[in-house]
Structure formats: C-alpha cells, structure tokens
Chain A
Amino acid sequence: MTAITIDLNGVRIADDVEPRQSLADFLRERCGLTATHLGCEHGACGACTVVVDGKATRSCLSLAVMSDGRVVLTLEGLRNDQIMDILRRQFHECHALQCGFCTPGMLIMARDILQRHQSPDANTVRHELSGQICRCTGYANIVKAVVAAGKDLAAAQAHALAGALAEAEALIQAEVQARVDDQVRAQEDAPPKPGTE
C-alpha cells in the first residue's frame, strides 16, 4: 500500500492504495464517484476522462499513486462550473446523449476543448473528439452541442468582458470626476490670492 493525498473535487483525500490500482478504480470503488465510467479500460473510448491538474486525463490509464499531490476533478466536482453548465444545457437541447454512458467523459472532454479553443468550429470539435466513443448518437448532435456551447461561452465571456470594461470605465470616470471635484473644491477652499481684489 502507498499513501497518497489528492485534492479531489475540492476536498483533500488521504488514502492508502495498491500501487497497481488505476485512478478510475480508486475514484469509483474507493471514493464512490461513479460518474466516471469505464468503457474499455485501455484508453481508447474516453468514458473515464477526468481532469488532473487542469488537463483532461484517461483515469483508466493513470494509476491512483500518480495522482498523489495533484488536483483531480470528476463530473461530480463540476456541478457549479460555468462551462459545464453551458455544455449540459446544450447537450440536453441538442439531444446529444441517448444511453448516457459516454456522457460524463464526453462532457469533460468537451469542457477541455472549450478551454483550449475559442468558439471552435465543427471540424475542430470532431477532430478533438476523436478519442471519445459514443455508440448511440452517431456524434452529430454531440458536435452540434459542443459548437453551440462554444458560441454561448464566447458570448458569455464577451458579455462579461463588456461588463468588466463598462465597470472599469465607470470607475475611471468616477476617479476622474473625484479629482476634478477635489480640484474645484481646493480652488473654492483656497484663500483668496492677495491682490486680486
């Protein structure tokens, strides 16, 4: 057994694991986090994809001991994630899932794609999804959902940026106004210059 400490979905987890145990088995069997699915256990289908130190990672090909000291996120830990919120809505509206088994891995990979590509087009999404198997949907609606989510995210970011700019501008204007006011006040408060009367 090997002692490991993982920051898992924002919680510090300390455990002793067999060196041979995969991260996927650790998450599912030891931590009870069953959103992470196993579709092949040899790194080909992508159903087990999780986030390790910010990178989409096959948890079936990583050992739990390799995650020692790292930050791991599973779908359970992305409940309040802005990108995941958008992806979930678009997957629902675009009918991008049928049996649902590939869905957690698809969502994690889609989030990874949107973090690396600003509003990706369909070809980019197809290429980037080439390591994820879905047996039900024929991919069309998954691609559509990720593209739509990318647009939504860009719009949300633009909106946030515009908001931030407006806020910044307002702050600057307030600052400028305050200085002007100070100067005016200083002039008003200043004693009359001698010899002006």
Chain B
Amino acid sequence: MADHPPADGWIGASLLRKEDARHLLGHGMFVADIRMPGLQDIAFVRSQMAHANVRQIVKPPEAAASVFTLADLGPIAILEAGPELAAHRHSPYPPLADGRVRYAGQTIAACMAPTRAEAEDLADRVTAELEELPAVVDCVAAMLPDSPRLFEHWPDNAFITGNVTEGDPPALQAAPVRLRRKFRMNRQATVSLECRGVLAYWDHRNDELTVHLSTQGGHVMRIAIAQSLGLPEHKVRVIAPDVGGGFGGKNRIMPEDIAVCAIAMKVGHPVRWIEDRREHLIASVHARDHTYDLTISADRDGTLLGVEGDVYIDAGAYSLWPTGSFMEASMASRNLTGPYRIRHLKLNTFTVATNKAPMGPYRGVARPGACFAIERLVDEVARELGREPFDLRRQNIVTAAELPYRTAAGMRLDTGDYVQALDTARDMIDLPAIRKRQEVGESDGRAIGVGFAFYTEQSGHGTVEWVKRKSRVVPGYESANARMLPDGSVIIHVGVQNHGQGHETTLSQIAAHELSIDPSRIAIKYGDTATAPFGFGTFASRSIVFSGGAVARASRMLIDKLKRIGAHLMQTDPANVRIEGGEVHGPSGSVGFAEIAYAANVRQEHLPAGMDPLLDVTATYEPTETGGVFAYGTHAAVVAVDPDTGTLEILDYVVTEDCGTMINPLIVDGQVQGGIAQGIGTALYEEIPYDEIGQPLATTFGDYMVPCAPEIPTVRMAHIVTPAQATEYGVKGLGEGGAIAPPAVLANAVADAFRKIGASFNETPLTPRRVSEAVARARRARDDAA
C-alpha cells in the first residue's frame, strides 16, 4: 500500500467508504437474501456430457407441472450474440437445451420446488436421454478439417477468424534475431464470491416483470430479457441489489436468467435460481484460454522489430449476448505490441468453438494473455542477446516525449511516463541487490528470480472504440440524474452498477467537489431500471471516467440553476455570484442551498419569472477522446522457487502505476491490490482443465485453487500521476490493470530463477508440477548436451 499526501478537497481524499456499514453489520442485501411470500426455488438438470443429442427428457409424472423444458417456457426469441459482423457465425444458445447440448453443464430442464433441496430432488428424478457425440476439446485441433463440428452448418469450428497486418512483416524474415515461442494461458472461472442469482415474479400492481438479478448492468440485461420474452421494455424492471463481485462474469445474459424469467411468467409466484459453486465453475462465464504461437524479430542491438504468428481463443460452445468473445482475439492482437516501438505485426486470429462452457469477459479481458506473451518474448530476446531483460525493456519502450503514440496495432497511448514507471519499479525492487543475492545463492537450495512486466490498460473508451469492435451495444456514454431535494440534500441516480468499486463514495466525492457540500449530504443510487437513468453498467474500467464525468456535468447543471435562483433571491445578477460552502454568495450576502432548493421545489413564487421549478437535471457524458485513455504500470516481483517440488514463494511484489488523477487513493490502492491477487490466481493457481471427452476437471474449490491470504503478498505501490487530457479531472480507469501483469511478471521471475539452465515457463498457471517438470526437462536437455 502506498502513502498518500492529504488532499485539500474532495478530489483526492481517501474518504472512508459509505458502503461499508451495511456489510459490517450483516445488512447487505444480495439476491439470495431477498425474502418473498410464496417464493420457490429452481434447480437445473444439466448435461452430463460435453456433446450430445438430447433424445428425450422424461419428467416424473407426479411432478410434471414443476419441470420445465424449452417447449414449456413458451415462445423464446434466441438473440444473436457477438459482433455485428457477417463473418461472425451465429451460435443459437437457448435457455434450455433444444435437442443438442454442447458442453457438460448446459441447462436441459428446470425444476421448481419450495426449497432448493426439494428442487434438486426433483431434478434427480428427471431423466435426460443423451446420445453422445464426439467432443471438441482442443481449439487448435478443432480447426483441422477432420475435426468434429459443433454446428453442422458452419464450414469449420471458428466463430470468426481474422488477421492483423501492419508495417512490412515480410521484411522480418531477414531479422538477425528471430525467436519462436508458444504460450498458453489456460481456462479459468471468474469466481465472484457471490455466485450468480436471479429472482423474478410478475408484479401485478405495476403490471411488469420484476427481476432481481446479480448483474453488472441492469439496463442492458433488460434489453435482452424483454427481447427474449417478447415483452416491451416498460414491462420489465431489473433490480440489481448488492452484487457480491462480478469481474466481468455478471455482464452477460445467461440461459438461467431467461429460463427463470420465463417460468415466472408462467407461475403465479416468485421464483429464483441461486447458482451454487459447482454450477459456477462448470457453467458460468469462463475466461482466458489463449494459445499463442509467435515469432518475435529483433536487431542484434536489441531493437524489437516485429511479431508474427497465430492467436487461438478457445471460446467455448456459444457466444454470450451481447458481445460474445470476439473481443478476446482483437484485443489480444491489438495489445500484442505492448508499450514497445514494434512496428511490424502479422497475426492470424482464430476464435474457436469447443465443447466447453462459453467464454465471457474477466478482469483484464485478453490483455493478461497479450501481456504474458509479449513480456515473456521480451525476456526471451534479452536472454538470447545476453542482455539484462530490464534494459531491453527500457530500450524499446515508448518514452514520454513520444506520447501520444499510436502503436502498430492502432492503439493511441495517451499520457504518462513509461520509463519513469520502469525505473521506479527497478529501484523499489532493488534489481542490483537481487542480482548479487543470486550470485551468492540460497542456503535452502531454492532459486531466486526477479521479473518485470509492463502493462497498459485501455480505459474509458467510448463510441469510436466500440463501433470499431462492431459491438452490438455501444457503451459510449454514461448518464446521471441529479436532484436537489427541498432541504438541500442531493440524490444522484447513475447508470453504472457498484459491485465493490465504491461508487457510492467516489461519485459523491465528485458531486461534493462540484457542489461545495459535504459528501454525507449526497446519496448515489443505482441498480434499479425503474429509477436509474439509462446506463451500461460497470465493466471495462469505465465507471470513474464515464459516470464520474456524468455526475460532474449533472452537478454543474444544478449549480447553474442554483446560481440563477440564488442571484434572484439576492436581487443581483447571476454573473455576480459564486458558490462556496453550500451557499450562493453575492456582493452583499449569501443564500444557502436549502433555501434555494425549498423555493425550487415547494415555493415556486420565489423563483425568477418564467423559470421552471425543480432542481432535477439529467446529464450524459463521453470523454473528448473516445479511443480510451491508458492507465499503465510496471510490476516487478522476486520469487523463490524449489527446483524439485516446483513450489513458489513471492518474496516481494512492487507496482508503479499511473491511473491519472485519483479521486480516492484508498480505493485506488484497494483496486490495485485486489486486481493483483486475481492476476496471481491466473498466474499460479486457477485453472479449469477439461479431459479428452470434454469433462471439466475443476468443479469445486477442492480442485479449483483460489489464492487465500497466505498466498497473496502485500504489494508495495508507488503512484505516478499524469492526468489524462480527455477526461474530467484527468482520471483514467484502473479496475483491471492489477490483473493484467501478474502472469507475465511471475513467469519472467521464474524463468529468471532458472535462466542458467534455460528452462522455459510459457504456460499458466505455473503450478508446482509445471514448474518442476520444466526444470527437470531443462536439466535433462543440459545433461544430454553435456
């Protein structure tokens, strides 16, 4: 954690969070905590097989009315998901199986009972007769001509293929240094500690379907629910209560959501489905699962020239609405040059359907894989040339004088000082001291390694970027509705969805800054489509940029009207007044917001002639540069590795990062530390392997390793603050950055520990088995050579 100087206003103040009290008292309200008369539980019958035709579903006769198959749900529109590109193939994903199941865990039938236990009993009595089909489990083999197909009418198993060509790749053939390496970042789950959940019922008084949904964006989910069920949107209300983490995993409409809503339309009482952990691991959003086969070219002096090769994304069986997993491939390839002056790029990308759970977004989306690949390649080139990897990095990285810099793949890196971030991290980790320590060696036989990795985090990207991605939904703005109540207190409704980020605190700091009142006089509300203005939700490190900007604009609109009314009350011109301390000050006195707000709301006779009553404004906001602003940073770590067991201890972990202006440094530090913990999970622990018939092998926390307190070090942080030019206050998004670099930095550190024997560590997670086997392989190769 970093030390922060005290701030002299609300921007930059480490205000303690408004969200804490309810959770500390056990009064949080998550979907599973909602109690309703007549509520019944749903349990799903799920496919036991990876790929099969559904021959027959036999319901127990005595409870047939409580078992729902697709035909029982009524007419359901299957939404096309993925980018709006003709080349992207449609993979219709019904809420319950339509005759074919394409991954183990896919929903086949829904069973309803007064309790979940009874619903599971009922599910056990439903027989699903499956006719097994050959499973597609390897995304590279899936593209071979003789591979079985998931969708018969597709010419191969690719959702989409693409290529990126920039510069003059053929010229790379003559480069003095050419290294080919393969990298794998394996499949994992997103693992919010609160699993998914949905509770739905028809609200007769309001004549609408009310859906309590653990989601990152209720408005966008409402679009999908309404379209799927054929309802007009004004008859669907989505309420996201407290949401226990999401990390991307709660930002797609899922089959269970639609099934539960459809059942609620059929029965006369509330129904809910609360996902259990096994369901989460086998059938929620899966992530990562990138395979890279890359060749990097460089000059003898270490100048990096270009990257060529193939990028495979194992996207699972279906595209999830709205966006599918297409962005994985485009973001991976567009981020593959990292922050380096690499001008030649030739990449073939394959987004492949396999008989696994569908892929969705997860903190960092694609960039952990891209960062892993390019940062490992930089280290490999350094080894080849006998250079210190840190120096090669520094030699090739874009300097502050070169910013803004357009990378070969078209990303516009905006502001910052990348070299300073590198140098600060080197000094914090004390690279010379580690090198000395390595010369001495460890008395316990472990090997010490130090690794560096640099990341950029595109954040706050708007219309231009999402249109470029052919996104079905273009989250190019956010909105805020600000109301000053008769007593001068303020309620601001926003379209983003707090699920741990602390928006109730940070957005109230922004409004407090603009309105010159205390944040305790400002309430931030969200999570109910009945009251929130339209917004896209919280994902892609966008909330502080977009929603912060919308809150600032709405607050300024309030200020404008407060000034006009205040001036009128003081019988002066609005040009003569200013705002301070919750009052409008004129040349000869002041009037408080409460007095003005009282007039505006309930005593209109005091308003200027012709002025509309109310202090109630709605603003939208998009940054001036909509390609995104780039937070960035350097991670550095020291590890100690047992060469025989492959066990790894992180001895030190430092970060220098720049997310522009910090609204609340306490929360920034929390996001960085939390992101790194998830990144360490990707790097060392978390994996959902599938066997050759497509069975998932990590289905509980007994075999899916989530790091706990002993595994996660307290990260030492330093902040560089380079305000963005395109956003309010100069903020940049920072929610994902922490999760991007850890796989790269830890793999580089382990490779550094075994650099003398040339062991390679190009697959995550770096489990003890993978590490010890890599060491053993390198030792054998060395011995064979000797």
CB of B244 closer than 8 Å to a CB of A: yes
Interface pair A44/B700, CB less than 8 Å apart: yes
From B26-34, B306-314, B389-397, B437-445, the one touching the partner chain is B26-34
Q: How far is the CA of A92 from the CA of B115 in the complex (A)?
A: 36
B interface secondary structure, majority: loop
Question: Which parts of A92-112 form the interface with B (CB within 8 Å)?
Answer: 92-93, 95, 97-104, 107
CB of A129 closer than 8 Å to a CB of B: yes
A93 to B: closest C-beta gap in Å: 6
Given contact pairs A29-B115, A95-B667, A131 touches B673 in the complex (Cβ within 8 A):
no
Interface pair B708/A133, CB less than 8 Å apart: yes
A132 to B: closest C-beta gap in Å: 7
CB of A126 closer than 8 Å to a CB of B: yes
CB of A37 closer than 8 Å to a CB of B: yes
B18-44 vs A, CB cutoff 8 Å, 1 = contact: the mask equals 011111111111101101000000000
Contacts of B32 in A (CB 8 A): 28, 34, 38
Contacts of A44 in B (CB 8 A): 700-702
Q: How far is the CA of A144 from the CA of B27 in the complex (A)?
A: 23
B114-146 vs A, CB cutoff 8 Å, 1 = contact: the mask equals 010100000000000000000000000000000
Among B16, B25, B243, chain A packs the most CB atoms within 10 A around the CB of B25
Interface pair A42/B33, CB less than 8 Å apart: no
CB of A79 closer than 8 Å to a CB of B: yes
Given contact pairs A92-B16, A104-B26, A140-B712, A135 touches B706 in the complex (Cβ within 8 A):
yes
Interface pair B19/A100, CB less than 8 Å apart: yes
Interface size on B, residues (CB 8 A): 58
Q: How far is the CA of A120 from the CA of B35 in the complex (A)?
A: 39
Interface pair A92/B24, CB less than 8 Å apart: yes
CB of B368 closer than 8 Å to a CB of A: no
Interface pair B708/A97, CB less than 8 Å apart: no
A27-43 vs B, CB cutoff 8 Å, 1 = contact: the mask equals 01100101111111110
CB of A74 closer than 8 Å to a CB of B: yes
Q: How far is the CA of A126 from the CA of B708 in the complex (A)?
A: 8
Q: How far is the CA of A142 from the CA of B677 in the complex (A)?
A: 13
CB of A148 closer than 8 Å to a CB of B: no
Contacts of A47 in B (CB 8 A): 193
Contacts of B21 in A (CB 8 A): 92
Q: How far is the CA of A134 from the CA of B30 in the complex (A)?
A: 16
Contacts of B676 in A (CB 8 A): 138
CB of A130 closer than 8 Å to a CB of B: yes
Q: How far is the CA of A164 from the CA of B29 in the complex (A)?
A: 42
B665-704 vs A, CB cutoff 8 Å, 1 = contact: the mask equals 0110110011111100000000000000000000011100
B709-748 vs A, CB cutoff 8 Å, 1 = contact: the mask equals 1101111000000000000000000000010000000000
A138-151 vs B, CB cutoff 8 Å, 1 = contact: the mask equals 11111110000000
CB of B277 closer than 8 Å to a CB of A: yes
Q: How far is the CA of A79 from the CA of B25 in the complex (A)?
A: 7
B301-338 vs A, CB cutoff 8 Å, 1 = contact: the mask equals 00000000000000000000000000000000000000
Q: Per a CB cutoff under 8 Å, which of A41, A102, A140 touches B277?
A: A41
Q: How far is the CA of A103 from the CA of B675 in the complex (A)?
A: 18
Among A32, A45, A98, A130, chain B packs the most CB atoms within 10 A around the CB of A98
CB of A20 closer than 8 Å to a CB of B: yes
Among A41, A92, A125, A136, chain B packs the most CB atoms within 10 A around the CB of A136
Q: How far is the CA of A39 from the CA of B669 in the complex (A)?
A: 25
A48-91 vs B, CB cutoff 8 Å, 1 = contact: the mask equals 00000000000000000000000000111001000000001001
From B3-11, B498-506, B591-599, B768-776, the one touching the partner chain is B498-506
CB of A18 closer than 8 Å to a CB of B: yes
Interface pair B709/A40, CB less than 8 Å apart: no
Contacts of A103 in B (CB 8 A): 23-24, 28
CB of A21 closer than 8 Å to a CB of B: yes
Q: How far is the CA of A47 from the CA of B194 in the complex (A)?
A: 10
CB of A193 closer than 8 Å to a CB of B: no
What is the chain A residue whose CB lies nearest that of B501?
A: A98
Given contact pairs A75-B25, A135-B193, A138-B715, A42 touches B701 in the complex (Cβ within 8 A):
yes
What is the chain A residue whose CB lies nearest that of B246?
A: A99
CB of B623 closer than 8 Å to a CB of A: no
Interface pair B117/A18, CB less than 8 Å apart: yes
Contacts of B30 in A (CB 8 A): 34, 37, 101
CB of A177 closer than 8 Å to a CB of B: no
Contacts of A29 in B (CB 8 A): 115
Given contact pairs A92-B16, A130-B710, A101 touches B677 in the complex (Cβ within 8 A):
no
CB of B526 closer than 8 Å to a CB of A: no
20 A-B residue pairs with CB within 8 Å: A34-B26, A35-B27, A37-B194, A75-B25, A92-B21, A97-B20, A99-B499, A100-B23, A100-B244, A126-B709, A130-B709, A130-B710, A133-B706, A133-B708, A134-B193, A135-B245, A136-B670, A136-B674, A138-B676, A144-B714
Additional A-B contact list (10), CB under 8 Å, known A28-B33, A37-B193, A98-B500: A28-B32, A35-B27, A39-B194, A91-B20, A95-B667, A97-B23, A99-B500, A129-B709, A138-B678, A141-B1
